[in-house]
């Protein structure tokens, strides 16, 4: 069956989602006209001026005409006792990681700002050079973004890119040292500030390109549309509907083209000056072209549909001037690497402590419970991990850091468990 035929069989985007957005916009306009302004606008000249003042306070260390730069260079060394995430025959190695970070901002006009955030690095494996970086690494937070303020609108045009090889972010992988992939998300979002409501709509085009032959079956592109309406009950509490749709097409017919829809609602509350909470939830459904996956001639049964809920919570808490923490938890379905999709439950926590001047202590913790939909392995696994890091500002320009990270995986598929310890030292020079 050809890709063209499969795409002709797809159901159109559900019309009732469009109706929900239309009704929300109408209600929003009615509410905003009936209320007085109760907070600073997030769009327009006032917001642009506030953004410019924030930019002026950022400690950029180089000025070229109107463009402000902040540049830093880091060299780190890491010991990893299980570079291939293996259950048996673990391989350890020392890894040298140099990288450069460049942040630049250009106030093109009083209302328009262009921003560049770019992190470029490399990884040298002392004993297993076959795992050296293919080209360069690009940090996940790298982006080019252009903010435009027009009346009650804030328009953001962006291109976010990442080039990584470490498999740590993909829990479904085991026995892999190089999960090289380039990811790029380019699109536009529009925020419309109606005083008593914030309307956000956006479109992104996403590309995934594997840099290794082992995972080139994951090469794909996706069209993403999303939107939300935030009704402001008070200056610190808002709620409203949210929805998104993702249309994914693979280059190869190993995994299946699919459509992913979700619709629900959210509540955001600034409970105190130091405590902020966001809760969201709704219904998610995914439809795939086939109820099997074809791993290069090996046909494995899989689920062609997913009907489930999604839910997430994010809590940001500043205990005092020295201690901050965040807690997030959720349930959702994601595309798989060995199957059509994976259902994931997760909990994540971060804590930062600035107890001594010039010294920062931070901790991280995560737990995942995941279940594959079928496919090549049909795996159910748990992952648990944590890290502790200490940073010390030695001089105005030099910062030193040490970090320890532990990750363990427990799988119901033989030879898919692993334990991994990582210790790293690094030094950063800010120009």
C-alpha to C-alpha distance for 9 and 85, rounded to whole angstroms: 40
HEC string of 88-145 equals CCCCCEEEEEEEEEEEEEEECCCCEEEEEEEEEECCEECCCHHHCCCCCEEEEEEEEE
pTM of the entire predicted model: 0.86
Q: Check residue 416 and give its pLDDT.
A: 97
Low-confidence residues in the chain, pLDDT < 50:
1-38
Q: What is the dihedral of CA 77, 82, 83, 86, to 10 degrees?
A: -170
**How many residues are given for the chain?**
431
H-run or E-run covering 315: strand 305-318
pLDDT in tens, 111-152: 788 999 999 999 999 999 999 998 899 999 999 999 998 889
């Amino acid at each position: 069956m050809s890709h063209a035929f499969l795409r002709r069989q797809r159901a159109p985007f559900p019309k009732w989602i469009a109706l929900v957005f239309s009704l929300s916009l109408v209600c929003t306009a009615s509410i905003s006209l009936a209320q007085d302004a109760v907070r600073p606008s997030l769009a327009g000249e006032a917001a642009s001026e506030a953004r410019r003042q924030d930019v002026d306070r950022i400690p950029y260390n180089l000025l070229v005409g109107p463009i402000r730069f902040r540049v830093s260079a880091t060299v780190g060394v890491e010991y990893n006792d299980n570079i291939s995430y293996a259950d048996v025959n673990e391989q350890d190695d020392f890894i040298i990681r140099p990288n450069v970070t460049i942040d630049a901002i250009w106030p093109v006009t009083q209302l328009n700002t262009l921003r560049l955030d770019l992190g470029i690095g490399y990884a040298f494996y002392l004993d297993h050079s076959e795992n050296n970086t293919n080209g360069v690494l690009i940090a996940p937070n790298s982006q080019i973004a252009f903010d435009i303020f027009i009346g009650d609108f804030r328009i953001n045009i962006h291109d976010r890119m990442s080039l990584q090889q470490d498999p740590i972010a993909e829990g479904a992988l085991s026995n892999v040292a190089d999960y090289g992939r380039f990811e790029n998300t380019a699109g536009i979002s529009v925020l419309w500030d109606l005083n008593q409501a914030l309307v956000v709509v956006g479109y992104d085009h996403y590309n995934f390109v594997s840099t290794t032959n082992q995972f080139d079956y994951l090469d794909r592109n996706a069209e993403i549309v999303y939107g939300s309406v935030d009704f402001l009950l008070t200056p610190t509490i808002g709620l409203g509907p949210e929805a998104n749709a993702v249309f994914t097409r693979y280059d190869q017919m190993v995994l299946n083209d699919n459509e992913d829809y979700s619709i629900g609602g959210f509540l955001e509350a600034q409970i105190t000056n130091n405590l902020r909470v966001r809760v969201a939830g709704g219904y998610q459904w995914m439809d795939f072209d086939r109820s099997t996956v074809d791993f290069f001639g090996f046909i494995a049964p899989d689920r062609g549909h997913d009907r489930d809920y999604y839910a997430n919570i994010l809590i940001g808490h500043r205990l005092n001037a020295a201690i901050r923490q965040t807690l997030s938890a959720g349930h959702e379905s994601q595309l798989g690497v060995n199957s059509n999709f994976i259902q994931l439950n997760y909990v994540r926590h971060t804590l930062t402590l600035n107890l001594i001047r010039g010294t920062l202590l931070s901790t991280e913790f995560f737990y995942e419970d995941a279940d594959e939909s079928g496919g090549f392995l049909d795996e159910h696994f748990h992952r648990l991990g944590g890290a502790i890091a200490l940073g010390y500002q030695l001089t105005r320009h030099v910062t030193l850091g040490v970090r320890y990270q532990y990750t363990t995986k427990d799988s119901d598929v033989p030879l898919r468990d692993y334990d991994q310890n990582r210790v790293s030292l690094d030094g950063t020079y800010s120009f």
